Copies of this chain bind each other. A is one copy, B any other.
Amino acid sequence: MRILVVNVNTTQSITDSIGAQAARVASPGTEIVPLTPAFGAESVEGNYESYLAAVAVMEAVRAHPGPFDAVIQAGYGEHGREGLQELLDVPVVDITEAAASTAQFLGRRYSVVTTLDRTVPLIEERLHVAGLSARCASVRASGLAVLDLERDEKAAVDAIAEEALRAVRDDRAEVICLGCGGMAGLADVVVERTGVPVIDGVTAAVTIAESLVRLGLSTSKVRTYAPPRPKRIVNWPPAAG
């Protein structure tokens, strides 16, 4: 089985980190193929960048020669999953939804801890659209940008663990979803500090993608995710894109 794991950011080191994380949990026989979009923001933190990433991810997947058995969109709270589902016959798994869906098997309420406050509304909307917000206790921000996570891992881990603790204590979360990727030891530290299960979206998505393939299930094509109708698309994709 071959699974494309598509970063939403154009920073290669984040792609590498996501790919490594995915590979660690993949079953024997599953090949993880990390992908970086050809255009877009070095880190996605807001609606403009997220819409651009949505389109860039779709083009990256379309440009891939294949074959592949499933696609994971590795961005927390980003736009675009529905478009991928229209374009592809194989299952598409968004890491925001993978984490939340997994969390609901482990506790009555979960919280997401993410980077910047400005991404909180995006995550809330995605959980809502996905039908996964009823048991979401809160989405909290550590105040650190995506690229800060790579620069000072110690401070990042501290800030995130602190918000996770507040989610458990003040918002009654029983499970924490990490709304940001790329740090090796993050989950372990947060587990240690909070005493609750901590979910990383990328690894959760890998197990779900594998499960869907194993069960022979893929996206329903009868309505919302029917393939695009044949029509003229002007000036797209970009020549160099």
Contacts and interface: CB of A to CB of B under 8 A. Distances in A.
Contacts of A107: 219-220, 222-225
A13 interface: no
Contact of A223 (B121, B197, B221): B121
Contact of A235 (B38, B104, B117, B221): B38
Q: Is the interface of A mostly helix, strand, loop or mixed?
A: loop
Chain B CB within 10 A, most for which of A42, A46, A134? A46
A54 interface: yes
Contact of A218 (B43, B93, B125, B197): B197
Given A218-B197, A225-B107, A238-B238, A231 B42 contact: yes
A128 B234 CA distance: 30
Interface in A168-221: 168, 172, 174-175, 195-197, 199, 203-204, 207-208, 210-212, 214-215, 217-221
B118 A130 contact: no
Given A25-B215, A195-B222, A199-B215, 9 more contacts: A10-B234, A25-B214, A41-B228, A41-B231, A46-B228, A54-B55, A104-B132, A125-B129, A168-B222
